[in-house]
Amino acid sequence: MVVKDVRDDRPERDYQSFNDRELVSMFTDGDRRAFEEFYKRYHHGLMRFIMSYCRDKNLAEDVVQDVFVKLIGFKVRAGLVRNIKSYIYASALNRCRDIVKKEQKNTALGDNGSNQSVTDDSAAEHIDIEIMNKNIQNLPERQKEVLLLRTESDLQFKEIASILGISENSAKVNYFYALTSLKKMMGGNFNE
Amino acid sequence: MNKYCREIEVKIVDYSENMLDKTQREIFLAHIQDCEDCRRKFEEFTAARDILANTAQKKDLNESDKDLLFKRLTERGRRSKIMYNLAAATVAVVLILVSTFIYSTVSYKSRLQQAGQTVISSEFIIDVEEELINSDEETFEMLSSALYGDDYKEFEEILDETSIIKP
Ligand SMILES: [Zn+2]
């Protein structure tokens, strides 16, 4: 398969000035540069969020792909999606919740589930991150969601509130308790 | 416990994220100095945030295969475009039928009520059409279930997801 990299001489900011909806419509019609711009805007943050949530790289890639594919679906085309950013994160979140629920069921049945490592870091750091990730999974669901949307995807509290259907203050309070509980859980494992 | 202590968590987060203006920041810091409870919470939060920031930096990932994703999207895009056009065409046909039906019913009724009492213009039909296209999700749902058959489940899922976002 040969995919031409269309980094021609047109200035990059042309595409940066398009809003999400325009970009989606353009890349659905095969515009590679529109896709590049959209990808740049969302892929990284989305991937980090999903990976921290599901803790499985392959699964996370599948989810990201599905979320992107949904953008070319009926609802977006019909103009029924008001905010593309909220929409992709809400879609991703729903998929993640399902995956984790399924995983918990499997674990309950004696299957160890997938607890793949998330990083390629050296051993010592690896343990810290591994412990941290495990502890994040043990937070109450809402706290975990707010925390990951904030730290992994760098979303504003306003955006997080809109995705989760809660108030901005509630998002902040959840973030506060997510972080402080996390530190308590880490206990002696973290001596800075 | 001072009135300011209420929702101190929100204020701590706002302070840490640089979301307070100068005056608010000064009030916040003065309170933290005076109030032991809030100060403890603030210190707890700051320490926790530092740990997380430290760990997060170490964590990064490779990008997935962008080309493959783009290919998949454009392929699906072409397919869904055909589906969408088909759906739009069906919607249009159904709308014409519905509007004609409404129009004839209403005009029949109005004829019965004697001309002049109810005036129906073509704008009325356009209104009905726009209303259906823009806001009536149920109609969309119905049409897509008829159109997509098994794929309807996916459509329903999409509707579910977006309902979270709606104010
Ligand atoms: Zn206080």
pLDDT at B30 exceeding the cut of 80: yes
User: Which single residue is written with the structure tokens 């937070």?
Assistant: A139
CA A172–ligand 1 middle distance (angstroms): 17
A116 contacts A57 by C-beta, under 8 angstroms: yes
Number of separate domains in chain B: 1
As separate numbers, helices (DSSP H) first and strands (DSSP E) second, chain A gives 10, 0
Predicted pLDDT at B167: 34
Between A36-45, A47-56, A134-143, B126-135, the lowest mean confidence (pLDDT) is in B126-135
Residue B28 within a domain: yes
- Residues of chain A positioned with their CB less than 8 A from the CB of B9: 172-173, 176-177
Residue B163 within a domain: no
Residue A150's alpha-carbon distances to A7, A176, B62, in angstroms, are: 32, 11, 20
List pLDDT tens digits, range B77-86. Answer: 676 666 667 7
Q: Do B48 and A74 touch (CB under 8 A)?
A: no
**Mutate: best of A72, A119, A184, partner B, most B CBs <10 A:** A72
- Residues of chain A positioned with their CB less than 8 A from the CB of B166: 82
User: Which residues make Cβ contacts (< 8 Å) with residue B128, sequence separation at least 6?
Assistant: B95, B98, B99, B102
Residue A72's alpha-carbon distances to A28, A98, B15, B70, in angstroms, are: 6, 22, 40, 12
Predicted pLDDT at B59: 60
Measured distance CA(B26)–CA(B44) in Å, rounded: 20
Measured distance CA(B59)–CA(A72) in Å, rounded: 31
For chain B, say whether A134 makes contact (Cβ under 8 Å).
no
Predicted pLDDT at A121: 47
Q: At what angle do helices B22-34 and B8-16 cross, to 10 degrees?
A: 120
Domain range enclosing B48: 3-54
Predicted pLDDT at B37: 95
CA B6–ligand 1 middle distance (angstroms): 8
pLDDT at B118 exceeding the cut of 90: no
Residue bearing the bigger pLDDT, B55 or B19: B19
User: Which single residue is written with the structure tokens 């213009």?
Assistant: B121
pLDDT at B140 exceeding the cut of 90: no
Q: Look at chain A and count its residues.
A: 192
Q: Do A179 and B45 touch (CB under 8 A)?
A: yes
Between A107-111, A165-169, B70-74, B135-139, the lowest mean confidence (pLDDT) is in B135-139
pLDDT class of B41 with cuts at 50, 70, 90:
very high
Please give the structure tokens belonging to residue A58.
């392959």
Q: Quickly count: other Cβ atoms within 10 Å of residue A34's Cβ.
A: 20
Between A92-101, A144-153, B53-62, the lowest mean confidence (pLDDT) is in B53-62
Domains of chain A (ranges; CATH) run 14-106 (1.10.1740), 123-187 (1.10.10.10)
pLDDT class of A93 with cuts at 50, 70, 90:
very high
